[in-house]
Amino acid sequence: MSTAGTLQAVVERTDSVGEKIFTASQWRLMWWKFRKHKLAVFSTAVVVFFYVMAIFCEFLAPYPLDARDSKYALAPPQRLHFFGEDGFHLRPFVYGRDKQSDPETWRITFAENKDKVHPIRFFVRGQSYKFWGLWETNVHLFGVDDPEYVVSFLGMDKIGRDLLSRLIYGSRISLSIGLVGILLTLIIGAILGGISGYYGGFIDNVVQRVIEMLRSIPQLPLWMALSAALPPTLSPVKVYFGITVILSILGWTGLARVVRGKILSLREEDFVMAARLAGTGEMRIIVRHLLPSFLSHLIVSITMSIPGMILAETSLSFLGIGLRPPVTSWGVLLQNAQQVDALAHHPWFLAPVFFIIAAVLAFNFVGDGLRDAVDPYVR
């Protein structure tokens, strides 16, 4: 049989069976493998939810950040009801609260007043706020009609501020510090790791000794020392960027080693040699040819590093050497839970812990899914 006849037979067989040949890029193959990881897909939705919450925190929070009412100070979380004295309600509601004082212990308690029913409504008008500091409005996602009544699903702090609202606002700082910090880490780690792996020799030795020195220092004491170096007179914005830079300086070492290892295995490939013969500069070869060749692995490393940034900021702020009031982050809110006596009587102060755990687990599961998706040996 001639070659033409063989090709024709193959074409006819393909047409009769109805098979189709697809060509897919690396990114499409990664997506097909990633969406099979159900937990990673769900975690991606959780991560997106958190960042949507951070972006629209003024609208989503029932009350502005510093809104307070002293008569509800240390009020416990309220229960959401669907069944009342008159039966089932289509719209969820909360009861009113009566403040009481124990005559023996002088402890303040709050009891539900079932004579007062406050339905939960969406897109209600409440206290005014400036969205992203640009324009003023008073529309909130949910709340109650009575402007004098404060509803709190996660309780109130010691000066009468709604903890749920402050947690929603705190997500903007805690989650953005992870993104900004990892961006700086990516720049430092990719450049120094690329230079170390591409040039080798003396430059490689210097970069690797610096990495080993930084990794040999206990992280918490180093964080404390660098944070203490920030002047206490700095504005909250400058403190925020200072903490971000500190976390980035300490977080680039792991990424730099990943980049170095990848470039060591790729620098003798044919496409690198072709770029050299074409007269391409060495930094351009690193940035435009070598780094993009394992971009998927960099994305996985970045995704796995963001939880570490979030936990580092939380730890520093919890210890009082990171972000400080009036800046509001999850770590700053956890400062209320430092005293055992406060936790014994007001356990809802631990609510930020559950937000932190959910965010860290979601990022870790997304990283696991991406790692499996870029691994060619995982089926």
Kindly list the domain boundaries of the chain, sorted by start residue. 67-160, 166-374
Q: Which DSSP string corresponds to 214-272?
A: HHHS-HHHHHHHHHHTS-TTS-HHHHHHHHHHHHHHHHHHHHHHHHHHHHHHHTTSHHH
User: Between 3.40.50.300, 1.10.3720.10, 2.30.290.10, 1.20.120.450, what CATH number should domain 166-374 receive?
Assistant: 1.10.3720.10
Six-digit token string for 183: 């961006």
**pLDDT truncated to tens, each residue of the chain (379 aa)?**
433 333 343 434 444 445 555 555 667 777 888 888 899 999 999 999 999 999 999 999 999 988 888 888 889 999 999 988 888 888 899 998 888 887 777 778 888 888 889 999 999 998 999 988 888 999 999 999 888 888 889 999 988 899 999 999 999 999 998 888 888 888 888 889 888 888 888 899 999 999 888 888 887 787 777 777 777 778 877 888 888 888 887 788 888 888 888 888 888 788 888 888 888 888 888 777 787 777 777 887 788 788 888 888 888 888 777 788 888 899 899 888 887 777 788 889 999 999 999 999 999 899 888 888 876 555 5
Kindly report the pTM of this predicted structure. 0.83
Interatomic CA distance for residues 354 and 352, integer angstroms: 5
| 232: Cα within 13 Å, side-chain hemisphere | 2
Q: How far apart are CA 140 and CA 58, in angstroms?
A: 8
Residue 212 token pair: 């080993």
Q: List Cα–Cα distances, 29 to 36, 369, 374, in angstroms.
A: 11, 13, 9
The whole-number pLDDT of residue 71 equals 87
Please give the pLDDT value at position 28.
78
**Residue 156 has what pLDDT?**
92
110, HSE (Cβ side, Cα atoms, 13 Å) = 18
Going by their DSSP bridges, the two strands 135-143 and 121-131 should be labelled as: antiparallel
